[in-house]
């Protein structure tokens, strides 16, 4: 257990999209630092398996696009813990499609999952965070594409730019209650999303090797690289940090 400013002892955290990949590693690292973590997702088997491997963690089904499910999830936290200290809005999708390949249904699906979920999470969680009186930390997962859009990721780039702007608005709104809101902007991280994107080239291994070689630090990211940044933003080590864009990309945006 951590005893310095990175300790999350006594804090309650909720992480969306936590059954696999970056979300799972974020939940794991928060738990390792002492938080009681609620993992949420729409993959119950994977989610329950993940939670079972973490001390003090539980799993709950949560469709992040449903206002009703958000309200029930936050009420369950209020009933069980009486507080929420850390919210990590991680759930998202990244279909590869340029502007002409993106039809209206795909566009709306990406915005609903990637942006509306963050809106709903922040809006629903803030009253419980405020109620505790101890402040809190909201961490929204954006992307380097939210800063440097990519042509083959038209809807995704737009959605992650929206998450960046919404984060800053929430940060200003909640600052008076000592509730901080920051965005994390990962570069390419080796998850199912990145592997699927690499596979579109026809030679996934060659594509991944090219991505590794192109990164200034010589490799794509791993979920733990992102999770460590989230732990910092969730902890009291970042008590005077809000509205930040934390880019974790091995220098690729340079």
Is the CB of residue 97 less than 8 Å from the CB of residue 151?
no
Look at residue 170 and give its three-state secondary structure: helix
Per-chain mean pLDDT for the chain: 94
Tell me the CATH number for domain 12-186+224-245.
3.40.50.720
User: Token match 């309200």: residue?
Assistant: 71
Is the CB of residue 65 less than 8 Å from the CB of residue 113?
yes
Tens digits of residue pLDDT in 4-46: 678 999 999 999 999 999 999 999 999 999 999 999 999 999 9
Is residue 90 pLDDT above 90, yes or no?
Answer: yes
- Among 43, 119, 47, 133, smallest CA distance to 82 is for 133
The whole-angstrom separation of Cα 184 and Cα 179 is 16
Tens digits of residue pLDDT in 143-162: 999 999 999 999 999 999 99
Question: How high is the pLDDT of residue 194?
Answer: 65
- pTM, 2 dp: 0.94
Is residue 201 pLDDT above 90, yes or no?
Answer: no
Question: How high is the pLDDT of residue 192?
Answer: 73
The whole-angstrom separation of Cα 19 and Cα 91 is 10
The whole-angstrom separation of Cα 165 and Cα 188 is 21
For residue 221, what pLDDT band results from cuts at 50, 70 and 90? very high
Tens digits of residue pLDDT in 230-245: 999 999 999 999 999 9
The whole-angstrom separation of Cα 22 and Cα 20 is 7
Alpha helices in 96-222 (DSSP H): 104-111, 117-132, 154-174, 192-199, 204-214
Question: How high is the pLDDT of residue 195?
Answer: 65
Distance from CA of residue 251 to its chain's centroid? 20
Is the CB of residue 182 less than 8 Å from the CB of residue 171?
yes
For residue 132, what pLDDT band results from cuts at 50, 70 and 90? confident
Question: How high is the pLDDT of residue 205?
Answer: 77
The structural domains of the chain, with segments of one domain joined by +, span 12-186+224-245, 190-220
- Count CB neighbours of 172 within 10 A: 12
Tens digits of residue pLDDT in 107-125: 999 999 999 999 999 999 9
Kindly list the catalytic residues: 156
Is the CB of residue 149 less than 8 Å from the CB of residue 194?
no
Is residue 180 pLDDT above 80, yes or no?
Answer: yes
- Looking from the CA of 14 toward its CB, the CA atoms found within 13 Å total 31
DSSP annotation of 176 reads G
Question: How high is the pLDDT of residue 1?
Answer: 47
∠168-90-104 over CA atoms, to 5°? Answer: 85
Question: How high is the pLDDT of residue 197?
Answer: 64
Share above pLDDT 90 across residues of the chain, in percent, rounded to a whole number: 85
Q: Is 1 exposed, middle or buried (0-12, 13-18, 19+ CB in 10 A)?
A: exposed
């Amino acid at each position: 257990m951590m005893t310095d400013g990175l300790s999350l002892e006594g804090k309650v955290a909720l992480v969306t999209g936590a059954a696999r990949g970056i979300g799972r590693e974020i939940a794991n690292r928060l738990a390792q630092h002492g938080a009681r973590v609620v993992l949420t997702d729409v993959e119950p088997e994977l989610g329950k398996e993940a939670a079972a491997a973490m001390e003090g963690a539980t799993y709950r089904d949560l469709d992040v696009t449903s206002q009703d499910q958000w309200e029930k999830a936050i009420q369950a936290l209020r009933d069980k813990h009486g507080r929420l200290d850390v919210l990590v809005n991680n759930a998202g999708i990244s279909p590869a499609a340029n502007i002409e390949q993106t039809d209206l249904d795909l566009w709306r699906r990406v915005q609903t999952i990637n942006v509306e979920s963050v809106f709903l999470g922040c809006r629903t969680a803030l009253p419980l965070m405020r109620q505790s009186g101890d402040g809190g930390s909201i961490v929204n997962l954006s992307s380097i594409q939210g800063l440097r859009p990519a042509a083959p990721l038209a809807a995704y780039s737009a959605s992650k730019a929206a998450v960046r702007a919404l984060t800053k608005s929430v940060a200003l709104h909640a600052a008076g209650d000592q509730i901080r809101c920051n965005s994390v902007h990962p570069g390419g991280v080796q998850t199912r999303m990145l592997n699927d994107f690499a596979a579109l080239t026809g030679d996934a291994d060659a594509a991944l090797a090219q991505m590794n070689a192109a990164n200034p630090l010589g490799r794509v990211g791993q979920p733990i690289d992102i999770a460590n940044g989230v732990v910092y933003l969730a902890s009291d080590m970042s008590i005077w940090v809000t509205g930040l864009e934390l880019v974790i990309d091995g220098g690729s945006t340079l």
